[in-house]
Amino acid sequence: MMGIFDFLTGEFIDVIHWVDDTRDTMVWRFEREGHEIKYGAKLTVREGQSAVFVHEGQLADVFTPGLYMLETNNMPVLTTLNHWDHGFKSPFKSEIYFVNTTRFSNLKWGTKNPIMLRDPEFGPTRLRAFGSYTVKVADPARFLSEIVGTDGEFTMDEISYQIRNIIVQAFSRIIAGSGIPVLDMAANTADLGKLVAAEISKVVAEYGLTIPEFYIENISLPPAVEEALDKRTSAGLAGDLGKFTQYSAAEAMTAAAKNPSGGAGIGAGLGMGMGMAMAQQMANQQGPWGGSSQADQAAPPPPPVEHVWHIAEGGETKGPFSKAAMGRMASDGNLTRDTYVWTAGQDGWLRAEDVAELAQLFTVLPPPPPGA
């Protein structure tokens, strides 16, 4: 950065211009070093610059790019402030600030602390974001009065922190109120960026600035939430646990089969073990005819307890006899309707025909034998 000025008779400044070689200077004050500016001095304002005159702390004339002869006809505000008459041609004192009006690009922003929001799917959660932006001085006079003040040299670093705070504040407010699910934000970063840029522009316009470009490069969840999301995704891909187990076993068998060296035996054993495990699991999931069983199918009930019977004959108790044996005795005539019988749980002795389970032995007869 360098200011170039010449003097007439060692007292008056004749040439005023600024060459910026820093690329980060936003405002530079022309150093008069106590000298007065000659009436009619040459002012050069290059492309991407503006020159602002300040007289005794008051903003005066603003010059856009071009070559000027500093006279009363192109310094109306300064002429009014100094009450110069039409024939004024004397040297004068005034502060001159050059403002860089080009874009300052590739500036970074990011959320220092996580943003709290209520996600429609995950509930209360936190997220971080970062990106880049460009800034440009749109109103040199306002920028000079609102931000710079009397700073002789003002760089981008001196305002970038404030702009980042404005960006994060606007971003937090828009994200929290957008209602966009976290999982859909990655697909909507362009639209979100436009909303945030429009909101930021309203604020920075008060400082004479504009944000021509604003980008959201990444929106991320806390590690714990990302881990839970990964598990949820894995579960969704796996589907049924049994199918996932079969898939994993098949993958392991395929990997073992592709191993040509050293581990052939191990691979074969692993494959056999996986195959047996998978076959066992498939057998458990299928019925005896190969049909798939339901996961919630009830186990079969236990078989009924078969009764055994005692009979009373000639004042003696005989038995116990199974129902099949009782049937044979009924066929042989050793068990009649009037024979007294008893089984566990029965209240005393009863005649055989009074017991429903035995009465049918006397009413259901076998068909005649073949050849009868």
In a domain, 271, yes or no: no
pTM of the model: 0.55
Residue where a domain terminates, one of 160, 195, 221: 221
Q: Kindly give, in sequence order, each residue whose CB lies less than 8 Å from that of residue 182, ignoring residues fewer than 6 positions away.
A: 119, 121, 122, 125, 127, 219, 221
**Contact between 241 and 247 (Cβ < 8 Å):** no
117 and 206, same structural domain? Answer: yes
Here the CATH number for the domain that contains residue 334 is: 3.30.1490
**Contact between 344 and 307 (Cβ < 8 Å):** yes
In a domain, 88, yes or no: yes
Residue where a domain terminates, one of 182, 204, 221: 221
80 and 118, same structural domain? Answer: no
In sequence order, the β-bridge partners of residue 129 are 219
Is the model more confident about 88 or about 235? 88
pLDDT confidence of residue 232: 66
In a domain, 237, yes or no: no
pLDDT tens, position by position, 70-124: 988 889 998 888 888 877 888 888 889 999 999 998 889 998 888 888 887 778 8
In a domain, 278, yes or no: no
pLDDT band at 223 (very low <50, low <70, confident <90, very high): confident
pLDDT band at 138 (very low <50, low <70, confident <90, very high): very high
161 and 91, same structural domain? Answer: no
pLDDT band at 282 (very low <50, low <70, confident <90, very high): low
Residues 249-267, mean pLDDT to the nearest whole number: 61
pLDDT tens, position by position, 180-208: 888 787 777 888 888 888 888 888 898 89
pLDDT band at 287 (very low <50, low <70, confident <90, very high): low
- Mean of the per-residue pLDDT values of the chain: 79
Report the number of distinct structural domains present in the chain. Answer: 3
183 and 119, same structural domain? Answer: yes
In a domain, 289, yes or no: no
Share of the chain above pLDDT 90, in %: 14
Domain that holds residue 313: 309-362
Structure tokens at 187: 């697909």
pLDDT confidence of residue 150: 63
142 and 72, same structural domain? Answer: no
pLDDT confidence of residue 341: 92
Ramachandran angles phi, psi of 199, nearest 5°: -70, -40
125 and 198, same structural domain? Answer: yes
pLDDT confidence of residue 257: 67
Of 48-52, 236-240, 256-260, least confident by mean pLDDT is: 236-240
Please say if the pLDDT value at position 44 is more than 90. Answer: yes
Residue where a domain terminates, one of 50, 73, 100: 100
Per DSSP, the three-state class of 239 is coil
pLDDT band at 270 (very low <50, low <70, confident <90, very high): low
In a domain, 21, yes or no: yes
In a domain, 354, yes or no: yes
129 and 81, same structural domain? Answer: no
In a domain, 300, yes or no: no
121 and 86, same structural domain? Answer: no
pLDDT confidence of residue 363: 74
Per DSSP, the three-state class of 298 is coil
Is the model more confident about 202 or about 154? 202
65 and 84, same structural domain? Answer: yes
pLDDT confidence of residue 136: 92
Here the CATH number for the domain that contains residue 133 is: 3.30.479.30
| CA–CA dist 252, 267 (Å, integer) | 9
43 and 124, same structural domain? Answer: no
Of 153-157, 253-257, 278-282, least confident by mean pLDDT is: 278-282
Is the model more confident about 309 or about 234? 309
Give the residue ranges of DSSP H helices in the chain: 76-82, 140-143, 157-178, 182-185, 189-204, 223-238, 241-257, 264-285, 323-332, 356-359
Residues 247-257, mean pLDDT to the nearest whole number: 68
213 and 129, same structural domain? Answer: yes
209 and 111, same structural domain? Answer: yes
Residues 46-58, mean pLDDT to the nearest whole number: 90
